[in-house]
Chain A
């Protein structure tokens, strides 16, 4: 697998691994059957993501894209986080092998799923803001 040095760096030294207790938003995407699960935790204060952590079960690219995604939204506004795209994550990692592009999609979805959860906890319908996030598939 031809991973860039950035991907390898984020895999070997992932940033923001872990959980946030009583997180304001938690999103989980992917499933064990396909071999990728990402779980994203957000702490949100005044529309800003003040902290962000992740846990990932998956390949090198899955870990690296989650790690990069947390770096890209930490300290940023919700609006900025909503604009995070999978291609931006890929670009920040100096690219991904074609078969691994879906990992970057998963990372984008994990952020959106966590924001959906945040709005739901606030009693706000997330769909007009976040859009539809694919449901977690149960086996």
Chain B
């Protein structure tokens, strides 16, 4: 079989598209002026930013005044959560609700706030990787300042019932933030219809450059300034604008949201083909709901195989993917996302995430399905864990989250 090069790690980052690069190019050398300057080179840039803000807003169903450009998803998450916390603490509201499987940009921000007198409720996630709006309703208290639930999970791709959670928060008068970094361009977002008060997004997940993102802040909510200085971003985030990045972001979000149904229609069958094909390998499990998931996300655990070695072997065959194993997280524990849906450490170590975009083809899926069984067999044949499993009749429990011995 001919070797293919397949980039299946879109959840990590994506390449800048041709259209985005072309849109950005004039602003590096020709229109390089500072948007705050008075002469035409400056004014041109100011107009470009006004235009970009309107385009980003349109893609989310927001008003341009509600869009604030940032340096990416982590910054937007930090600003939204710390900003609301800071503002509402003065009113005695020092309780935050989030979920156990948020991105670290949210989790570590919440942990930071816990050290500063806030109480945080980490909602448990279902075995399918979903949050029930009722859980949110039950957790809201008098002193709840904010609910922060991610739109789509970055590892297992599960899509949360955001509109329903938004409705719960609205009814209870609590602000609702969603980290939509993995959702933009993959699901239809309308911040007004979905009752979203704050939304984080990051350009590099949908073909804009790295280091540019935005925070949507619903009109009527005034967050403390993130960066003090000049008057950029209504004085809330000072610093000469990342003009090229902002223009790239506007082009990218327009392209990414132009035809989401077509993208979903194209990728869903490929995703399902991959899931069905990979699950034919013995002792594997799908992580996250099969249906409530991003069309370009597959996450599967392989018993008896360690994730990093799986990635290195796949890379040898030209396939770039990722894993939630401890080895790839740089800590001793496997991914908190996989643990949150109930997996034991052993099962979580052997996970594989394939995340792909529009350019993914049937041939790519076929190639992955052709090489993966051999790789799994080879790694298992040299795995003492697999040997023990075979000898001692160890197998999955009923819900495939743990390994148990015969008769247990």
Q: Which A residues form the contact surface with B (CB < 8 A)?
A: 1, 8, 11-12, 14, 17-18, 28, 32-39, 55-60, 62-63, 99, 139
| Residue from the list A14, A35, A57 in contact with B326, Cβ < 8 A | A35
A56 contacts B384, CB within 8 Å? yes
| Residue from the list B316, B327, B345, B385 in contact with A59, Cβ < 8 A | B327
Number of interface residues of B (CB under 8 A): 26
B192-223 residues at the A interface, CB under 8 angstroms? none
Contact with A along B369-408 (1 / 0, CB 8 A): 0000000000001111111000000000000000000000
A57 contacts B327, CB within 8 Å? no
> Mind listing 26 A-B residue pairs with CB under 8 Å?
A1-B308, A8-B312, A11-B309, A14-B382, A18-B382, A32-B346, A32-B349, A32-B385, A34-B326, A35-B307, A35-B334, A37-B384, A37-B385, A38-B384, A39-B384, A55-B383, A55-B384, A55-B387, A56-B384, A57-B385, A57-B386, A58-B309, A59-B306, A59-B307, A99-B330, A139-B345
Complex Cα gap A46–B345 (Å): 42
CB distance from A91 to the nearest CB of B (A): 22
What residues on A are CB-neighbors of B325 within 8 Å?
35, 59
Q: Which B residues form the contact surface with A (CB < 8 A)?
A: 304-309, 312-313, 316, 325-328, 330, 332, 334, 345-346, 349, 381-387
Sort A-B residue pairs by CB-CB distance and give the 3 closest, nearest first. A59-B327, A59-B308, A39-B384
A33 contacts B327, CB within 8 Å? no
A62 contacts B346, CB within 8 Å? no
Complex Cα gap A39–B382 (Å): 10
Complex Cα gap A60–B401 (Å): 25
CB distance from A39 to the nearest CB of B (A): 4
What residues on A are CB-neighbors of B345 within 8 Å?
32-35, 139
Complex Cα gap A60–B306 (Å): 9
B382 contacts A58, CB within 8 Å? no
What residues on A are CB-neighbors of B334 within 8 Å?
35
